[in-house]
Amino acid sequence: MTLHMSPPRFALMPRLIAVCALLCASALAMAQTAPVEPAAPAASTTAQASTANGTGPVTMVSELSKIPAPTLGAKAWLTLDANSGQIIAAQDPDARVEPASLTKLMSAYVVFEALESGRLTLDQKVHISEKAWRTEGSRMFIEPNTDVTVDELLQGLIVQSGNDATVALGEAVAGSESAFVALMNQEAVRQGLTGTHYTNSPGLPDPEHYTTVRDLAVLARNLERDFPKYMHYYSQKEFTYNKIKQSNRNRLLWADPTVDGLKTGHTKSAGYCLVSTALRDGRRVISVLVGAASDAARAENSLKLLNWSFQNFDTVRLIKPDDAAVHARVWEGEQDTVGLSPGEPLWVTVPRGRDADIDSVAHYAEPLLAPLEKGASVGTLEVSMDGRQITTVPLLAQQNVPQAGFFSRMIDKVRLLFN
């Protein structure tokens, strides 16, 4: 990786010493009769950063490779590297599609949030309403006016794709399915799923119930990243309830031991859909495929997409958790420089064998003025290859930089005049 940066240049010429001394003497006299102006808050530095970044269209990783994407029988599809968050390849990523039971990825996300916040517990018993029992489509076969644990209902939702279990959990979380759907839409907005809208929790057909494969990939990545303790449900191959054993509809759980999720979906209008994910040598890839012609076709095409993504692309770590991407000059602070970092490990996905061709450029606010708070966003790191941007991440201050004393600030003000 080659890192470029362009911090401010400051050459202190000999005549500046005299100017500085004169200005400091004058400022001292002023300070005896007037109060010192308060320092600008750290938020103002962040505001500067919003206009001091590199922007541009982000390139899909496959566009940098000479290896063609596989030909797949599907309406739309996408493959995403979960470590880097980069899209490897896609077909019609923003086309509006019917999610069918892939909706249950968001239903589960909201339930997991309720579990983490303590509003639900896995052993808590949920009273089954007649509405939940009557929900059409795939079923867990729960009975009305009975009590079923949240753990059992989650297995019904995820393993059996039970619409009845999904509605029952929604009622347990929010009091009614309509209120639960409102939470689902609220969460979609929070995650930036701009092409998604829900009208029900199981995924029943509705003209206003839609998503995109891009949104599904982002949701799947967030689900695995935010709730790893619940991901075992997605690799569970079967579940028996009410003396009825049902198998997970994700055929890839039997076909490939590295596949550990996530969710199938099917209606007549949506076709056969699958969000699948595999973990190989610490690298996770997520594939989204909708509108296949059959159950076998969605499994075969999804596995083809996963294998192609692993075999032809690498994900490399550019920055470790505590490493600085660049050290930037700070003015009017108690220290002259501050480390800028993405705040978390930076992974980048590139065509296999091309990690040496990665280029990165740091863009940050100039001049960078103290005080700075640890974690303040002051710029971006733009990562590219062959002159094409492949990802951009924020640059955050790695430590606090308090404002310097009066005389030191005056010296820096003079330096800035000649910078």
Element (H, E) at 341: strand 337-341
Catalytic residues: 101, 104, 161
Q: Which two tokens stand for residue 200?
A: 């029900």
Q: pLDDT at position 2, please? A: 52
pLDDT at position 50 is: 25
- Determine the Cα angle at 385 with ends 381 and 388, to 5°: 80
Q: What is the mean pLDDT of residues 21-42?
A: 35
Which two structure tokens, joined as six digits, stand for 330?
Answer: 């700070």
Considering only CA atoms, which of 315, 278, 274, 279 is closest in space to residue 61? Answer: 315
- What does pLDDT average to over the chain? 88
What pLDDT does residue 419 have?
75
Residue 99, preceding peptide bond in cis (omega within 30° of 0): no
pTM of this prediction? 0.84
- Which whole number is the average pLDDT over 26-41? 33
- Mean pLDDT, to the nearest integer, of 327-342? 93
Helix, strand or coil, per DSSP, at residue 345: coil
Q: How confident is the model at residue 97 (pLDDT cuts 50, 70, 90)?
A: very high
Q: What is the pLDDT of residue 386?
A: 94
What is residue 408's predicted lDDT score, i.e. its pLDDT? 86
The reported pLDDT for the residue numbered 212 is 98
pLDDT at residue 208, as a whole number: 98
Q: At residue 307, what is the residue type? A: N
Model confidence pLDDT, tens digit, residues 229-284: 999 999 999 999 999 999 999 999 999 999 999 999 999 999 999 999 999 999 99
The backbone torsions φ and ψ at residue 337, rounded to the nearest 5 degrees and listed phi first, read -135, 160
Q: Name all domains of the chain by residue range, CATH numbers in brackets.
A: 2-60+318-417 (2.60.410.10), 74-292 (3.40.710.10)
**Predicted confidence (pLDDT) at residue 16 exceeds the cutoff of 70:** no
pLDDT above 70 covers a percentage of the chain that reads: 86
CA distance 397 to 49: 12
Whether 36 shows a pLDDT value over 60: the answer reads no
Closest CA to 108 of 275, 266, 271, 243: 275
C-beta separation of 65 from 392 below 8 A:
no
Contacts of residue 410, defined as CB under 8 A and 6 or more positions apart, other chains included, come to: 20, 23, 24, 27
Write the pLDDT tens digit of every residue in 285-294: 999 999 999 9
Question: Where is pLDDT greater, at 37 or 138?
Answer: 138
Average of per-residue pLDDT across 389-402: 94
Is the model more confident about 222 or about 365?
Answer: 222
Determine how many CB atoms are found less than 10 A away from the CB of residue 47: 13
pLDDT for res 366:
87
- Of 9-13, 151-155, 260-264, 311-315, the range with the lowest mean pLDDT is 9-13
Helices (H), 227-383: 252-255, 295-312
